[in-house]
A and B are shown apart, each in its own frame.
Chain A
Amino acid sequence: MEACSISNLKLREFGCEQSLLSRPDGSASFIQGDTSVCAGVYGPAEVKVSKEIYDRATLEVLIQPKVGLAGVRERSQEQCVRETCEASLLLSLHPRSSLTLVLQVIHDDGSLLSCFLNAACMALMDAGLPMSCLFCGVTCAISADGQIVTDPTAAQEKESRALMTFAIDSTERNILMSSTKGSFSVHELQQCIVVSQKASEKMFQFYRDSVKRRYSKYL
Chain B
Amino acid sequence: MKETPLSNCERDFLLKAIEEKKRLDGRQTYDYRTIKVTFGTDYGCCFVDLGKTRVMAQVSCEIVAPKESRPNEGIVFFNIELSPMASPTFEQGRQSELSVKLNRQLERCLRNSKCIDTESLCVVSGEKVWQIRVDVHVLNHDGNLMDASSIAAITALCHFRRPDVSTQGDEITVYSPEERDPIPLSVYHMPICVSFSFFQQGTYLLVDPCEREERVMDGLLMIAMNKHREICSIQSSGGIMLLKEQVMRCSKIASVKVSEITELVGKALENDRKARKAGEKCGFAESLPQERITALKTDKTPVEAMDVTEKVDDIIQKAEVPPLSVPSPSLPVPGVGQVGQNTWGLDEEEEEEEEGEEDRDSSGEEEEKGTKTQKEKDKDEVVELSDSEEEEVVILHPDT
Contact = CB atoms under 8 A, between A and B. Distances in A.
B299 A67 contact: no
Contact of A45 (B88, B283, B292): B88
Contacts of B83: 64, 102, 104
Interface stretch (B23-31, B133-141, B180-188, B367-375): B133-141
A20 B52 CA distance: 9
Given A7-B305, A19-B294, A21-B139, A107 B316 contact: no
Contact of B88 (A10, A42, A191): A42
A104 B304 CA distance: 32
Contacts of B292: 17
A22 B140 contact: yes
A9 interface: yes
Interface in A12-31: 12-24, 27, 29, 31
| Residues of B contacting A: mostly | loop
Interface centre among A3, A106, A202 (most CB of B within 10 A): A106
B397 interface: no
Nearest to A70: B92
A195 B306 CA distance: 10
Contacts of A15: 285, 288, 295-298
Contacts of A104: 56, 83, 85, 137, 139
B284 A31 contact: yes
Given A46-B1, A107-B45, A14 B297 contact: yes
A194 interface: yes
B298 A14 contact: yes
Interface string A183-211: 00011001100110011001000100110
A23 B86 contact: yes
Given A24-B85, A195-B308, A11 B303 contact: yes
A88 interface: no
B351 interface: no
Given A16-B296, A66-B135, A21 B316 contact: no
Contacts of A23: 85-88, 140-142
B66 interface: no
A62 B302 CA distance: 32
A111 to B, nearest CB: 14
B81 interface: yes
B93 to A, nearest CB: 11
A64 B293 CA distance: 28
A34 interface: yes
A13 B293 CA distance: 18
Given A36-B285, A107-B40, A191 B308 contact: yes
Given A21-B140, A210-B296, 12 more contacts: A17-B288, A17-B295, A18-B295, A23-B88, A29-B284, A67-B60, A104-B137, A104-B139, A107-B41, A107-B283, A194-B311, A198-B304
Query: 10 nearest interchain CB pairs?
Result: A15-B297, A40-B85, A102-B85, A17-B295, A210-B296, A9-B303, A21-B140, A22-B52, A190-B312, A18-B294
Interface of A: 3, 6-24, 27, 29, 31, 33-34, 36, 38-40, 42, 45-46, 62, 64, 66-68, 98, 100, 102, 104, 106-107, 109, 150, 186-187, 190-191, 194-195, 198-199, 202, 206, 209-210, 213-214, 216-217
